[in-house]
Structure 1
Amino acid sequence: MRFLILASESKRRVEILKMLGYHFFVIPSRIEEEYKGNPLINARRLAYKKAFKVWKEYKFSTVLGADTIVVLDNKILGKPKDEREAKSMLRELSGRWHKVITAVAILSPKGKVLFHDIAWVKFTNIDDEEIDEYIKTGEPLDKAGAYGVQGLGAKFVERIRGDFYTVMGLPASKTDRVLKFLLD
C-alpha cells in the first residue's frame, strides 16, 4: 500500500477523505490560482498543477490535487478578494442556477488519472441583510463563489443536481474508485 498525500489545505477535502476511510498526509501545494478562459480546462489544469507540484518530491506516493470552480453565465466566480466582492457574488447567485466544477488529479507510480465532475446548484432569493449577516461570519471569504454548501451557506441552496460532494470540493464516489485502483 502506497502513502496517500492530499496536496490541499481544504478542510472540506480532508473531511471527505476521512469519511471515505483514507489515512493520508496533508502537504499543500500552495500554487498561484489563475483563472482565464474555459472554466473546465482551468479546473483540470489547476488540479493537475497542484498534484504535480507535490508529486515531484514524493514520486513513490499517491498524490491527490483538486480544484473547485463556481461558474455563473460562463463567468468564473473564484474566492472573493474581500467582503465587497463576496457580497457582489452572492447577489449575482441569488435566485439563480449555477454550476460547480471540481477537477481531481491523482498521480501515483501506478498511473496518473485526471477527471472532473459537474453539479448544478440553485440558490434561493437572498436579500442584502441575509448576505451581510453571512459575510460577517467570515465563511464566504475563502470559498469559490463566496459560499460553503457544507456550512452556513447551505441555507441559500434550494436545490442541487448532481453530487453534493462535488459542490463541497471532492466528488466522493469517483475519487474513491480511482484511489482504490491506484493505492492497491
Structure 2
Amino acid sequence: MRLFILASESKRRVEILKMLGYRFFVVPSRIEEEYRENSLITARRLAYQKALKVWKEYKFSTVLGADTIVMLDDKIFGKPKNKIEAKNMLKSLSGRWHKVITAVAILSPKGKVLFHDTAWVKFRNIDEEEIDEYIKTGEPLDKAGAYGVQGLGAKFLEKIRGDFYTVMGLPASKTDRALRSLLD
C-alpha cells in the first residue's frame, strides 16, 4: 500500500490512522475555519478545503483532510478561541445530547472521495468546578466542542450513539475503506 499525506496536525487522527496500520506524512493545511452554512455542509467544505490546499502542493500524492464539528441546538461548536468560550461550550453541553459530524475528503490521482459520519453524544451533568478543572488541563482548547472523547473529556460522557471514532475525529471503518479504494 502506498503512502499518503494527512493534511492535519490532529494527534487523534494520527493515532487512528496508525491504529489502522497506515504509514503517512503529516502536512498541516492551516486553513481559516469559517462556519457559515449548516453543520454538515460546513464540515464537508472544511474537510475538502484542507485536503485541497495540501493537494495543490503535492498533486501526484493522495491527501486526506478531515473536519469535526459539534452541534447543539442548531449552533456549531468548533474549536474554542479561549478558555471562556470553552467554559461556555461545556456548560451548554452539560446534561444534554449533541451531534458530532466528522467529514473526510481524500484527493488522489485516482479520484476523490468525500464522505461524513454522524454520532450522537450525551454528557452527564457537570458542575462549574469540574469544568474549570478540565479547562486548566488545556485539553479542551484545541478540540471541537471543547472536549476530547479519548482523553479526560471521557469522564463527562454518559452515552454515545454511533461510531466512537467519529467523535474522536476520524470514522475509522469508513476512512479505511475509502483509503483502500484509492491507494491499492
Into which bin does the TM-score normalised by the smaller protein fall?
over 0.9
Identical aligned pairs, as a percentage? 85
- Deviation string 1:1-39 (CA, Å, 9 cap, x unpaired) is 543000000000000000000000000011000111211
How do residues 19-98 of structure 1 correspond to structure 2 at under 5 angstroms?
A: 19-98=19-98
Question: Does the 8 Å contact 1:2/1:61 carry over to 2?
Answer: no
CA distance in 2, matches of 1:34, 1:141: 17
State the SS of the aligned residue for 1:180: helix
How do residues 95-134 of structure 1 correspond to structure 2 at under 5 angstroms?
A: 95-134=95-134
Structure 1 unaligned residues grouped into runs of 5+: none
**2:172 partner amino acid:** A
Q: What's the C-alpha RMSD, in Å, of the aligned pairs? A: 0.7
State the SS of the aligned residue for 2:32: coil
2:149 paired residue number: 149
What is the TM-score normalised by the length of structure 1? 0.99
**2:97 partner amino acid:** W
- Deviation string 1:52-90 (CA, Å, 9 cap, x unpaired) is 011111111110000000000110011111111111110
Question: Does the 8 Å contact 1:2/1:60 carry over to 2?
Answer: no
Structure 2 unaligned residues grouped into runs of 5+: none
CA distance in 1, matches of 2:149, 2:70: 12
Moved over 3 A (4+): none
State the SS of the aligned residue for 1:31: coil
2:18 paired residue number: 18
State the SS of the aligned residue for 1:41: helix
Residue-pair matches, total: 184
**2:40 partner amino acid:** L
Deviates more, 1:89-98 or 1:76-85: 76-85
CA distance in 2, matches of 1:56, 1:183: 18
CA distance in 1, matches of 2:134, 2:20: 30
What is the TM-score normalised by the length of structure 2? 0.99
CA distance in 2, matches of 1:20, 1:2: 14
**1:41 partner amino acid:** I
CA distance in 2, matches of 1:29, 1:85: 24
